[in-house]
Amino acid sequence: MHAPSAFPAADRALLDLLGLLDARGYGHVTPTPATHARVVARPGRARARDVNDVFGWSLPFDQELLDPELLHAAERAGAIRGGRSTVRVSRLHGRLFLHSAYPTTDEHSVFLGPDSYRFADLVLHELRGFCPARVADIGAGAGVGGLVAAEACPDARITLTDINPDALRFARINAAHAGVDVETVECAGLAGVEGPIDAALANPPYIVDPAGREYRDGGDLFGGRLSLDMAKEALNRVEPGGRVILYTGSAVVRGRDVLRDALVDLTGRAGASLRYRELDPDVFGEELDSPAYAQVDRIAVVAAVIAKPE
Ligand SMILES: C[S@@+](CC[C@H](N)C(=O)[O-])C[C@H]1O[C@@H](n2cnc3c(N)ncnc32)[C@H](O)[C@@H]1O
């Protein structure tokens, strides 16, 4: 667990920044990168006009725009570079989350986007009436899944994993701001997590990303490989009676849902049950222009909930 008093000074400053923004009623909801780009390209949007523009829309700002406390916290955090904030702050389920500023072109960017909102809703829905003793959020990013799980199951032990140390750093700060105890483990999948797990959550990358960014690249199977691998590992690791709650995207190739077929096969062989449904039939349509998607009709967002037999 991570006591804020043990945080490095820059992390304490980011925690202060969240507190100050919360106290001022700050609320930004992060849209897709395409929407973000459209909005900030409008006339008159070249520079920030308010706090939302600074920490939500990642626009360059004049220092006088921020009140001195906010500016000081951001400076102490080292979160201002080239006249912009290097962090973004978004509100989700009433809580503030730090993540990377737009555009998230860096390989180690810390993701939070519309998928995080849908993932959070799925986690809350699926944990209703099933309160696991321990929850592992795989590829936790800014910590959305684990922190929402803590809201549903306040007594659960929450473990967050990610291969990106920057994500786990932000997740610890976000957890501290939410007043939730979490443990963070830097590892691929669940490799570094010891002990029994009752529920495993994941919103893995699901796009074929030629740039290979950690938060975005889902590997082969038209971007479904990482989702399938995480589901397989999680199903092995959860206790009998445990659940895997997977939120992801799946490429539909000439009418066939590639990931669904692979999960039906996986769960059938393990004697586990699978509930699978589309949450959105068509996301990231612009990706279909890339050669990797030449055979793909659409990318659907799906929920796959796997129950391991007792
Ligand atoms: C799409 S983001 C989702 C983040 C967060 N769960 C959310 O919903 O906002 C995927 C995350 O998975 C992480 N990741 C990618 N490959 C991973 C792996 N093999 N094991 C653990 N985490 C991984 C990325 O670093 C990134 O933080």
Question: Hey, whose CA ends up nearest to atom 15 of ligand 1?
Answer: 214
pLDDT at 3 over 80: no
Q: Are residues 284 and 218 in the same domain?
A: yes
Does the predicted TM-score (pTM) go above 0.85? yes
pLDDT (0 to 100) of residue 290: 93
Task: Choose among 223, 203, 213: nearest CA to 290.
Answer: 223
Average pLDDT over residues 281-301: 95
**Within a domain: residue 105?**
no
Average pLDDT over residues 269-276: 98
**Within a domain: residue 95?**
yes
Q: Are residues 72 and 172 in the same domain?
A: no
Q: Is 191 exposed, middle or buried (0-12, 13-18, 19+ CB in 10 A)?
A: exposed
pLDDT at 8 over 90: yes
Q: Using CA atoms, how far apart are residues 146 and 157, in angstroms rounded to an integer?
A: 10
Query: What distance in angstroms lies between residue 71's CA and the mean position of ligand 1's atoms?
Result: 30
Range of the domain at 72: 4-100
- CB–CB of 279/302 below 8 Å? yes
Q: Which two tokens stand for residue 215?
A: 């938060």
**Within a domain: residue 19?**
yes
CATH code of 158's domain: 3.40.50.150
Task: Choose among 138, 123, 248: nearest CA to 193.
Answer: 138
Q: Where are the alpha helices (DSSP H) in the chain?
A: 9-23, 33-40, 51-55, 68-76, 114-127, 144-152, 165-178, 225-237, 258-270
**Within a domain: residue 107?**
no
pLDDT in tens, 99-152: 999 998 888 899 999 999 999 999 999 998 888 999 999 999 999 999 999 999
Mean pLDDT taken over the chain: 96
pLDDT at 190 over 90: yes
Query: What distance in angstroms lies between residue 193's CA and the mean position of ligand 1's atoms?
Result: 15
Q: Using CA atoms, how far apart are residues 239 and 229, in angstroms rounded to an integer?
A: 18
Query: What distance in angstroms lies between residue 69's CA and the mean position of ligand 1's atoms?
Result: 33
Band (pLDDT 50/70/90 cuts) for residue 214 is confident
pLDDT (0 to 100) of residue 177: 98
**Within a domain: residue 200?**
yes
pLDDT (0 to 100) of residue 28: 97
Q: Using CA atoms, how far apart are residues 3 and 208, in angstroms rounded to an integer?
A: 38
State the DSSP H helix or E strand holding residue 131, giving kind and residue range, or none if neither: none
Report the residue among 137, 162, 206, 226 best suited for mutation to probe ligand 1: largest number of ligand atoms under 8 A from its CB: 162
Average pLDDT over residues 272-280: 98
Q: Are residues 59 and 19 in the same domain?
A: yes
pLDDT (0 to 100) of residue 270: 96
Q: Are residues 78 and 39 in the same domain?
A: yes
pLDDT (0 to 100) of residue 105: 85
Query: What distance in angstroms lies between residue 128's CA and the mean position of ligand 1's atoms?
Result: 24
Residue at which a domain ends, from 35, 68, 100: 100
Residue at which a domain ends, from 100, 135, 169: 100
Task: Choose among 72, 63, 66, 86: nearest CA to 24.
Answer: 66
Q: Are residues 119 and 92 in the same domain?
A: no
pLDDT (0 to 100) of residue 48: 97
Band (pLDDT 50/70/90 cuts) for residue 22 is very high
Q: Are residues 204 and 155 in the same domain?
A: yes
Average pLDDT over residues 2-25: 94
- CB–CB of 222/265 below 8 Å? no
Domain count of the chain?
2
pLDDT > 70 fraction of the chain, expressed in percent and rounded: 100
Q: Is the previous residue joined to 43 through a cis bond, with omega within 30 degrees of 0? A: no
Q: Are residues 177 and 214 in the same domain?
A: yes
**Within a domain: residue 283?**
yes
| DSSP single-letter state for residue 263 | H
Q: Are residues 73 and 201 in the same domain?
A: no
**Within a domain: residue 148?**
yes
Query: What distance in angstroms lies between residue 164's CA and the mean position of ligand 1's atoms?
Result: 8
From the CA of 112, give the closest atom in ligand 1: 9
Average pLDDT over residues 227-241: 98
Residue 36's identity, in one-letter code, is H
**Within a domain: residue 26?**
yes
Band (pLDDT 50/70/90 cuts) for residue 1 is low
Residue at which a domain ends, from 33, 66, 100: 100
Q: Which residues line ligand 1 (CB under 6 A)?
A: 111-112, 115-116, 119, 138-142, 144-145, 161-164, 167, 188-189, 203-205, 214-215, 226
From the CA of 206, give the closest atom in ligand 1: 1
Q: Are residues 129 and 235 in the same domain?
A: yes
Average pLDDT over residues 36-63: 96
> Helix-strand-coil percent breakdown of the chain, rounded to 5?
35, 25, 40
pLDDT at 69 over 70: yes
Q: Are residues 227 and 174 in the same domain?
A: yes
Band (pLDDT 50/70/90 cuts) for residue 228 is very high
pLDDT at 243 over 80: yes
Q: Using CA atoms, how far apart are residues 81 and 73, in angstroms rounded to an integer?
A: 14
Q: Are residues 197 and 53 in the same domain?
A: no
Q: Are residues 178 and 56 in the same domain?
A: no
